[in-house]
Amino acid sequence: MMELAEEKFVLSDPVKKEIDRWIEKYPPDQKKSAIVKALLLAQEQNGGWLSDVAMNAVADYLDVPHIVAYEAATFYDMYNLKPIGKNKISVCTNVPCMLRGSDEIIDCLKKRLQINVGETTKDGLFTIKEVECMAACAAAPMCQINDKKYHEHLTPEKMLGLIDRLEQEAKTNAK
């Protein structure tokens, strides 16, 4: 994964190629339909977050006004509009998860990591994010790590165990 300074962001050739593949899925006058995937690709290229420059680059590539990229990036939870930690913990706080204790999950995370929702730990290991329903209500409360793996039927104990494990993994990988 390539990390670029904000002011120097230019879509890489592999990313452009992948965006082109998505553009082809839509009618020629509907290029903007590829915006969701294109922003995800730009985010990955930019080290996990979307700067204004990266969003503009995507909009320019799709030939749409910059506002189209901003609208999509601020609407969906999977975009990060500032740098994030190595582990993004997205906790669903929508009604079914809230009724099953997502507040306790958030509280135990805030206490353990000494940060608030939307913040990143000083060591850059964790970011806490609150998200809307992730379609796993039957297993509430739940969270997702790094936009991939779901962790369901959470309790504060399970959540803290998961943090311990991720911390341990980071230490092992640093050796």
Which residues would be at the binding site for ligand FES (CB under 6 A)?
Answer: 92, 94, 96-97, 133-134, 136-137, 140, 142
Smallest distance, ligand FES to C-beta of residue 148, A = 15
Q: Report the residue number, 44 or 103, with the smaller CB distance to ligand FES.
A: 103
Q: Report the residue number, 68 or 78, with the smaller CB distance to ligand FES.
A: 78
Pick the closest to residue 92 from 43, 137, 127 (CA basis).
Answer: 137
**Residue 112 in contact with residue 164, Cβ under 8 Å?**
no
Q: Report the residue number, 4 or 139, with the smaller CB distance to ligand FES.
A: 139
The CA distance from 70 to 42, in Å, is: 13
Q: Report the residue number, 70 or 150, with the smaller CB distance to ligand FES.
A: 150
> Would the CA dihedral through 132, 137, 139, 140 be positive or negative?
positive
Smallest distance, ligand FES to C-beta of residue 97, A = 3
Smallest distance, ligand FES to C-beta of residue 132, A = 8
Smallest distance, ligand FES to C-beta of residue 135, A = 6
The CA distance from 91 to 157, in Å, is: 15
The CA distance from 16 to 59, in Å, is: 12
Q: What are the counts of helices (DSSP H) followed by strands (DSSP E) for the chain?
A: 7, 4
The CA distance from 26 to 94, in Å, is: 32
Smallest distance, ligand FES to C-beta of residue 18, A = 29
Burial of 165 (0-12, 13-18, 19+ CB in 10 A): exposed
Q: Report the residue number, 31 or 100, with the smaller CB distance to ligand FES.
A: 100
